[in-house]
């Protein structure tokens, strides 16, 4: 996917929708992978203006996208005074989001296993 300038919420939503569609995922699948609700995905894709950065980062992690801030007057992010810290910050945010998503996956699996045991004969 080519670099995209996200100048407003509509472009952010369009980027998310395009990345999701390229993977052949539904909004439900994307939401599960990102640890957010399907309604949140729908709102973001429609250009809704309220979204927490943490949720956006989880979505980007699920879609294998990276968020990059670049000085608008420069073609090279390394020209920005504190650009050296940005990749580390983004990587840390992505790691946190991935960890939380994995924890959510483990909780969901545990609930599914518990429900399966409860449904089995003599299971509860």
- Going from N- to C-terminal start, the domains of the chain cover 9-71+80-119
Work out the number of other CB atoms within 10 angstroms of the CB of residue 61: 23
pLDDT digits (tens, 9 = 90+) for 9-67: 788 888 899 999 999 999 999 999 999 999 999 999 998 777 788 888 888 888 888 87
pLDDT digits (tens, 9 = 90+) for 42-52: 999 998 777 78
98-105 average pLDDT score = 79
For the segment(s) 9-71+80-119, the CATH number from 3.40.30.10, 1.10.260.40, 3.30.565.10, 3.40.47.10 is 1.10.260.40
Sign of CA dihedral 51, 56, 58, 63: positive
Whether pTM exceeds 0.85: no
């Amino acid at each position: 996917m080519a670099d995209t300038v996200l100048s407003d919420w509509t472009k952010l939503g369009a980027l998310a929708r395009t990345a999701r569609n390229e993977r052949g995922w539904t909004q439900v699948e994307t939401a599960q992978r990102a640890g957010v609700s399907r309604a949140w995905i729908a709102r973001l894709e429609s250009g809704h203006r309220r979204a927490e950065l943490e949720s956006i980062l989880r979505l980007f992690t699920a879609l294998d996208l990276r968020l990059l801030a670049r000085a608008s007057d420069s073609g090279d992010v390394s020209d920005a005074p504190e650009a050296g810290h940005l990749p580390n910050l983004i990587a840390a945010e992505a790691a946190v989001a991935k960890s939380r998503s994995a924890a959510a996956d483990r909780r969901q699996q545990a609930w599914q296993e518990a429900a399966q045991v409860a449904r089995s004969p003599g299971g509860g």
